[in-house]
């Protein structure tokens, strides 16, 4: 078959690879959401509060001038279940740490913890570790 129609085989292989990549992305996002939702079961936040915090952090990171101290203010009062509920609401987004923005082009799929670890300065991470050592900010 390769000798008679190599283009058809190459198109089929490319389509199959694209399908696998798309399915992997969907499965990864679904598993992350389920995992974070289960970890956030003991949260005192409502879904709307978690979405609001996640949206505020997203907007702050994507702003022209990121205010890292404001992001720290959002994080410090959170318990660990609250944090995971916010992370579930945040989802997995393409984040480009070079430009400190969310971008489909050149962005790595990142969850809230990964975005914060890439965005915050070491001094802010240290402040979070001192005041709320349970949060997974390294």
Give the pLDDT confidence of 26-47 residue by residue, as tens digits.
Answer: 888 888 888 878 888 888 899 9
Query: Measuring CA to CA, which residue among 108, 94, 103, 56 is closest to residue 77?
Result: 56
Rounded to an integer, the average pLDDT of 42-64 is 91
- pLDDT tens readout for residues 81-94: 999 999 999 998 88
pTM, 2 dp: 0.76
| Whole-number percent of the chain with pLDDT over 90 | 46
What pLDDT, on a 0 to 100 scale, did the predictor assign at position 66? 83
């Amino acid at each position: 078959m390769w000798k008679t129609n190599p283009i058809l085989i190459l198109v089929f292989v490319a389509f199959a690879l694209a399908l696998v990549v798309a399915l992997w992305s969907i499965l990864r996002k679904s598993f992350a959401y389920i995992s974070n939702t289960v970890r956030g079961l003991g949260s005192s936040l409502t879904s709307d509060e978690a979405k609001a915090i996640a949206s505020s952090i997203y907007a702050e990171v994507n702003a022209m001038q990121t205010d890292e101290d404001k992001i720290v203010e959002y994080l410090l009062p959170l318990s660990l279940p609250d944090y995971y509920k916010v992370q579930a609401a945040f989802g997995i987004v393409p984040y480009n740490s070079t430009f400190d923005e969310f971008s489909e082009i050149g962005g790595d799929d990142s969850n809230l913890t990964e975005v914060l670890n890439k965005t915050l300065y070491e001094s802010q991470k240290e402040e979070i570790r001192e005041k709320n050592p349970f949060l997974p900010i390294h």
